[in-house]
Amino acid sequence: MRKILLTFWCILPLLGLSTESSVNFLQDPRVDVLLHRNLESNRSVTVEGFRINIFFQSGNLSRSNALAAQTTFSERFPDIKSYVSFEEPYFRVNVGNFRTRLEAVAALENLRGVYPQAFVVRDVLNVIDLLQLQPEQEDDDEYNDEESDNDNL
């Protein structure tokens, strides 16, 4: 009898345990809307960071060549933002938003096959570009619907 109870007592905890676990966060959708509104009001907040320079050129056609390079890059890598800038006498195309040089170098290795002359540059980044928080329009509608429901109470 003791062996049966001991065996049952040892096996019982194993029945309720699994190797996978998950945590579900229940968050009011209005939190995302408020966070987005806060970021929009602070759009001009900037931080030091890094980007990858894939193109720079001076001369008569440098602006149109820079725009062409940006278009080509955006078609090949649609998930990475690109920026055209002018610092006399060069038009430049910088890509990505990286907080650390390590992140930029890792991304640079992925671009080396297409852009062998690319290099990491220090740049000023907009915080909103780093976070890339864009709530869907549906969230705004839900927030407005809930506000009108609360007004009726």
CATH of the domain at 60: 3.30.70.1070
Predicted confidence at residue 9, as pLDDT, reads 65
Q: Which stretch, 16-20, 78-82, 146-150, has highest mean pLDDT?
A: 78-82
More confident residue, 134 or 46: 46
pLDDT tens-place string over residues 65-115: 999 999 999 999 999 999 999 999 999 999 999 999 999 999 999 999 999
pLDDT tens-place string over residues 22-75: 888 888 889 888 888 877 777 778 889 999 999 999 999 999 999 999 999 999
Question: What is the count of structural domains for the chain?
Answer: 1
Residue 38 lies in a domain: no
Residue 70 lies in a domain: yes
Predicted confidence at residue 35, as pLDDT, reads 80
Residue 101 lies in a domain: yes
Residue 108 lies in a domain: yes
Distant-in-sequence, close-in-space partners of 118: CB < 8 Å, separation ≥ 6: 52, 53, 54, 108, 111, 112
Predicted confidence at residue 13, as pLDDT, reads 63
Residue 9 lies in a domain: no
Residue 76 lies in a domain: yes
Q: Which helix (DSSP H) or strand (DSSP E) does residue 52 occupy?
A: strand 46-57
Residue 82 lies in a domain: yes
Crossing angle for the helix pair 29-41 and 137-152, to the nearest 10 degrees: 110
Nearest-angstrom CA–CA distance, 40 and 36: 6
Q: What does residue 47 show for φ and ψ, rounded to 5 degrees? A: -140, 160
pTM: 0.61
Residue 57 lies in a domain: yes
Predicted confidence at residue 144, as pLDDT, reads 46
Domain holding 95, by residue range, is 47-131
Nearest-angstrom CA–CA distance, 7 and 28: 46
Q: Is 47 helix (H, G, I), strand (E, B) or coil?
A: strand
Query: How many residues are recorded in the chain?
Result: 153
